[in-house]
Structure 1
């Protein structure tokens, strides 16, 4: 009887101590806050890493506020800020090349000292959504329905493409070669449309892909051939041939305006108004890992060791990649 009782107690203890598969998965999927802005009016808008250690995050304070650039040199464990010396109506995006940082909003700004000082380049046009470095001196920006390119470090800009449609270019994605993609789209009244444009000569010339989408809200490419597109209708499309053909993966994505990062064809993360979601089957199903609290997850990025996410309520989150 005593032996039977001891066996029963031991079984209970082992059951209580053993982690179930779901508990282990939840533990591995935890996101932690590494930095939070003190001012509730501040929010993080963009984040990028130069390498595993050096990264930048753009924090904004409403219209004409005191915007700041945050910097880390230890892989995101500690972040420090530099106050901007300019006031832009709404900074949107940053691009980094070493210690040189560009920021776009109403105008285009450049810093060569990690954000301590800034210069307004005063381009002849206003309103920019995204900026990308193509090499040391070559950059590309989206300016309404026009793509502009600079080959002298942003001093002068040339129009290289005009879509001639009422939709702003809002994001670029370049692969390791000279191939790049740009998305544009709008949803208003009874209108819902989007396009994907492609370049194969480092942004010098562009063409609109034949596939017609509704409002395209995000894009990510693993290489020159394999890529993904999200739309306003919660759709996820995949291409295996550089955008010539597209396969509908799902029409039940968790967010209409996602910010995605694909680690492989199967594993990816998206952030948005609902929080952060994770897929292990290429986007067919998604599991919630972080619930947004009166905010939005504006971007997710991977620096080679850890995942980072920024939120609209002023937090930088991180998650170790266990693969």
Structure 2
């Protein structure tokens, strides 16, 4: 993979099959993310923010371009205008191949739209009247129970339905940040992610949401540390930090490579898509001669190089 810039969403159907979009391209893995290959490339595939596959062949995606779907595993995509609304799709959730919901906005209005026949027809459902509310994510655990989270500047909103989206109620929760993503593991256990590292959790099916205060502060910028020990013989460790991917044209595919003084590549230590966090890798120079070497971290537009000394 090359020229990976923004990644807004990634979806794995199982432990082997996964997809993500970046820069108008659809990438696919069949070995759990060890290798990725370019599957499709079209300009309208840019800025995809939501993605879900229901089967190995059937998948839905959406973003600024609207709503698209595939029936051949991501090799080709077709656009659809649900309920005649050209909307900026923010969230997608299907509970099976027929029944699903999408949320998004158009013309300053927030929408939730439902299908019960696999996208052949769509029904507009109604949110409560909340000024300046923008739905960002939707999740249903069955055909009746579902949640939507979003922004209501400067606070977040959680909505719940018990009748498939026909009506929604506003859920109180102890947080004042905008909310962007909701996901449930089962009918009881779920999480909400929001601005400023906010993590809100429920263990009783959304009856009560509690903010998790034991969340480690997320990395907000790249950082490549000096290797240690340095000088070294024959092994040394290299630490680096990756911020939340997608912002400011940064993130995506991360590579960490070692070069000699002539610029020849000696070893590739990292070559994969990585989530935000702190990482540490070990470099072994046992087969190399003493001297100066350079290690370079590269991710999107970010590039940083540092020097290390192998002394035998």
TM-score, structure 2 normalization: 0.63
| Alignment partner of 1:104 is 2:53 | no
Matches within 5 A, 1:301-320: 312-315=251-254, 316-317=273-274
Q: Post-superposition shift, 1:140?
A: 0.8
| Alignment partner of 1:223 is 2:186 | yes
CA distance in 2, matches of 1:142, 1:177: 16
Question: Secondary structure, in 3 states, of the residue corresponding to 1:297?
Answer: coil
Residue correspondences, number: 229
Change (3 A) 1:218 1:153: closer
Matches within 5 A, 1:1-323: 37-39=1-3, 42-59=5-22, 61=23, 67-85=24-42, 87=44, 90-98=47-55, 99-105=57-63, 106-123=65-82, 124-125=84-85, 126-144=87-105, 145-165=110-130, 166-175=132-141, 178-187=144-153, 192-211=154-173, 213-214=175-176, 215-232=178-195, 234-250=197-213, 254-255=217-218, 273=220, 291-292=241-242, 296-297=244-245, 312-315=251-254, 316-317=273-274
Higher relative contact order (CA 8 A, sep 6+): 1
Q: Post-superposition shift, 1:89?
A: 6.1
Contact kept in structure 2, 1:186 and 1:194, CA below 8 Å? yes
CA distance in 2, matches of 1:72, 1:109: 20
Q: Post-superposition shift, 1:231?
A: 4.0
Contact kept in structure 2, 1:171 and 1:184, CA below 8 Å? yes
Q: Post-superposition shift, 1:203?
A: 4.1
Which residue does the alignment assign to 1:9?
none
160-169 vs 91-100, greater mean Cα deviation: 160-169
The structure richer in strand per residue is: 2
CA distance in 2, matches of 1:206, 1:290: 44
Deviations 1:86-141 (A, max 9, x none): 52563211111111121112311111112222211133222111111121112211
Question: Gaps spanning 5+ residues in structure 2: where?
Answer: 223-238, 255-272, 278-312
TM-score, structure 1 normalization: 0.61
Deviations 1:254-276 (A, max 9, x none): 24xxxxxxxxxxxxxxxx7458x
Which residue does the alignment assign to 2:228?
none
